Amino acid sequence: MASPQLEFELRAMTFDDLDDVLINEGLSYSHPWARGIFDDCIKSGYECFVFIVDAKVVGHSILSVAAGEAHLLNVCINPEVQGNGFGRQLVQHILSRAVARGASKVFLEVRPSNLIAFKLYESLGFQEIGLRKDYYPAENGREDALVFSYQVPDAFP
């Protein structure tokens, strides 16, 4: 028997969402972003979104767009609700926002150890284009980042 389709909402992130956003960050990452980073992203007019299920913020994303290119800076889904396709929905939404803002390419970095995210990005059409040595803080020093690029197709959905 298939599991029921869960209802979700995507909306712009506000300062009032940051307590929930920080909880999700802390549960998801060994080195989560600080509140000040999210504050700055909202103040700067970045594309900041929250993903809501059953009136609870369970995910978020941050996208910066400039000069026809976009950079997906943060994608997070609370580990307790991963596996429901929410990450895919969130990234697809943020890609549509990049296109709406005139971007023809979208870039991101991902830890090689984050296989779930790596596979998600590949399945959505991102291509690995490089490596940033010692990019991320890690438990024992630093971890490299894989750099991915997404070329917006002429007929983007």
Catalytic residues: 109, 121
d(CA 75, CA 54): 20
Q: What does 41-100 look like in DSSP terms, one character per residue? A: HHHTT-EEEEEEETTEEEEEEEEEEETTEEEEEEEEE-GGGTTSSHHHHHHHHHHHHHHH
